[in-house]
Homo-oligomer: A and B are copies of this chain.
């Protein structure tokens, strides 16, 4: 039976897998198109074309354009959270966990800039609805990080001057801003050829995002102040 199924050729397996595969193809296409055009500017037709399906097909897999956006966010966020959780789980003490988190995140940015661009720029703040929605999902990520901080504070290793949840926010803010700067700086000048004045560096031009992990580590753990005994 499977042999004669039109989908059985080329090693394809079940219909359910086919369905999932096509859904993923659409999500990947949406990611590319959103990254290029932005969510509101992106047209469903563009995504369909990029995915190699008909416009109507999109609606067999997603209820609406909004639903597609949310599903994409969901999908990528799961991936991110899983990766970060694994990184943290692979370390032992709080400091190592923090660095693992930071390194995992910047590594991901560097490895998948298109996905990162969509996450960092397009998906986050598109609509009020999305904003509230994403807050929940980012919550997981933030709680993971806050857990690490709290652990370090509980161990007496880190100061508890800053409540762990807010410290987590702040660290996340650093990472996020660095990611944004790197992503926007990547193709600086862009299609408009308009370059910002190169004289005064505002940190927005090409730099090594992976190295930025060390900056975050340095700032977060030791701060700017020179240690008297260092």
Contact = CB atoms under 8 A, between A and B. Distances in A.
B121 A131 contact: yes
A100 B218 CA distance: 23
Contacts of A219: 162, 167, 170, 219-220, 223
Contact of A168 (B139, B202, B216, B218): B202
A210 interface: no
Interface in A51-110: none
Interface string A216-230: 101111111111110
Contacts of A138: 202
Given A38-B127, A165-B201, A165-B202, A224 B170 contact: no
Contacts of A167: 215, 219, 224
Summarize A's interface: helix, strand, loop or mixed.
helix
Which of under 10, 10 to 19, 20 to 34, or 35 or more describes the interface residues of A?
Answer: 35 or more
A204 to B, nearest CB: 6
Interface in A179-230: 181, 184, 190-192, 194, 196-197, 200-204, 207, 212, 214-216, 218-229
A81 to B, nearest CB: 13
Contacts of A196: 135-136, 139
B204 A159 contact: no
Contacts of A38: 126-128
Contacts of A128: 37-38, 41, 190-191
Counting every copy of the chain, the complex holds 4
A155 to B, nearest CB: 10
A61 to B, nearest CB: 17
A125 to B, nearest CB: 5
Interface stretch (A15-23, A25-33, A141-149): A141-149
A149 to B, nearest CB: 7
B215 A129 contact: no
B139 A225 contact: no
B152 A224 contact: yes
A158 B225 contact: yes
A172 to B, nearest CB: 6
Top-3 shortest CB links A-B: A173-B177, A165-B203, A223-B223
